[in-house]
Amino acid sequence: MTTSINKNKKIVNAIEEDLEQLSSYDGDVAKRFFSFIKPYKTKALLGVISVITFTIAVLAIPLLVKFTIDNAISDNNESLLNNLFILLIGFALMHFISNYVQQRVIREIGEHILFDIRSKMFVHLQKLSMSVADRSKYGSIMSRVLGDVGALQELFQAGVFAIGDMLTLIIITIIIFSLNWSMALGILMIMPVFLALRIFWLPKARKAFLKARASSSVVNGVLNEHVNGVRVTQNMIREDINQKRFEGEVNTNFNDTNSAAKYGAGIHPPVELLVGATMSLIVVMGGYLVSGGSVEIGVMIAFLLYVQRFFDPIRALTMHYSTLQRAMASGHRIFELLDIEIDIKDAEDAKDINVNKGKIEFKNVDFEYNYNEPVLRKLNFVINENETVGLVGPTGSGKTSIASLIHRFYEIKNGNIFIDNQDIQQVTQSSLSNNISMVLQDPIIFSGTVEENIKYKANATREEVIEASKIVGSHEFVMTLPNGYDTILEESGANISVGQRQLLSFARALLLDSKIFILDEATSYIDSYTERQIQNALDRVLENRTGIIIAHRLSTIKNADKIIVLNKGEIVEIGNHEKLLSNKNLYWKLWSNNESSFDDLS
**Statement: residue 398 has pLDDT above 70:** yes
Which helix (H) or strand (E) element contains residue 423?
strand 422-423
Give me the torsion for CA of 563, 564, 565, 568, rounded to 10°.
-160
pLDDT tens, residue by residue, 204-244: 776 777 778 778 778 877 777 777 677 676 667 777 887 88
List CB contacts of 526: < 8 A, sequence separation 6 or more: 499, 502, 503, 534
Domain annotation covers residue 3: no
List CB contacts of 166: < 8 A, sequence separation 6 or more: 313, 317
Task: Identify the domain containing residue 298 by its residue range.
Answer: 26-338
pLDDT tens, residue by residue, 449-481: 888 888 887 788 889 889 888 888 788 888 988
Of the chain, the end-to-end C-alpha distance in Å amounts to 36
Within this chain, do residues 368 and 297 fall inside the same structural domain, yes or no? no
Domain annotation covers residue 159: yes
Within this chain, do residues 331 and 370 fall inside the same structural domain, yes or no? no
Within this chain, do residues 308 and 169 fall inside the same structural domain, yes or no? yes
- Domain-ending residue, one of 278, 310, 338: 338
Q: What percent of the chain has pLDDT over 90?
A: 7
Give me the torsion for CA of 577, 583, 589, 594, rounded to 10°.
40
Buried b (16+ CB within 10 A) or exposed e, 20-48: eebbeeeeebeeebeebbeebeeebebbb
Mean pLDDT throughout 102-130?
84
Q: DSSP E strands: which ranges in 484-552?
A: 488-489, 516-520, 546-550
C-alpha 248 chain-centroid distance = 25
**Statement: residue 17 has pLDDT above 50:** no
Within this chain, do residues 190 and 236 fall inside the same structural domain, yes or no? yes
Within this chain, do residues 145 and 269 fall inside the same structural domain, yes or no? yes
The 3-class SS string of 14-77 reads CCCCCHHHHCCCCHHHHHHHHCCCHHHHHHHHHHHHHHHHHHHHHHHHHHHHHHHHHHHHCCCC
Mean pLDDT throughout 102-124?
86
DSSP code, position 487: P
Domain annotation covers residue 308: yes
**Statement: residue 362 has pLDDT above 90:** yes
**Statement: residue 8 has pLDDT above 50:** no
**Statement: residue 252 has pLDDT above 70:** yes
Q: Residue 307 and residue 100: Cα distance in Å, rounded?
A: 25
Q: Residue 163 and residue 430: Cα distance in Å, rounded?
A: 47
Q: Residue 361 and residue 384: Cα distance in Å, rounded?
A: 8
- Domain-ending residue, one of 338, 372, 389: 338
List CB contacts of 591: < 8 A, sequence separation 6 or more: 554, 581
List CB contacts of 126: < 8 A, sequence separation 6 or more: none
Coil/strand/helix, residue 575: strand
pLDDT tens, residue by residue, 553-597: 777 788 888 999 888 888 989 998 889 888 888 888 877 764 555
CATH of the domain at 244: 1.20.1560.10
| 370 to 294, 324, 414: CA distances (angstroms) | 81, 37, 14
- Domain-ending residue, one of 338, 364, 391: 338
pTM over 0.85: no
C-alpha 58 chain-centroid distance = 40
CATH of the domain at 417: 3.40.50.300
Mean pLDDT throughout 510-517?
85
Give me the torsion for CA of 380, 381, 385, 386, rounded to 10°.
-140
**Statement: residue 117 has pLDDT above 80:** yes
Within this chain, do residues 334 and 354 fall inside the same structural domain, yes or no? no
**Number of domains composing the chain:** 2
Nearest Cα neighbor of 566 from 547, 581, 586, 583 is 586
Which pLDDT value is given to residue 599?
A: 55
Q: Worst-scoring range by mean pLDDT, 88-92, 341-345, 464-468? A: 341-345
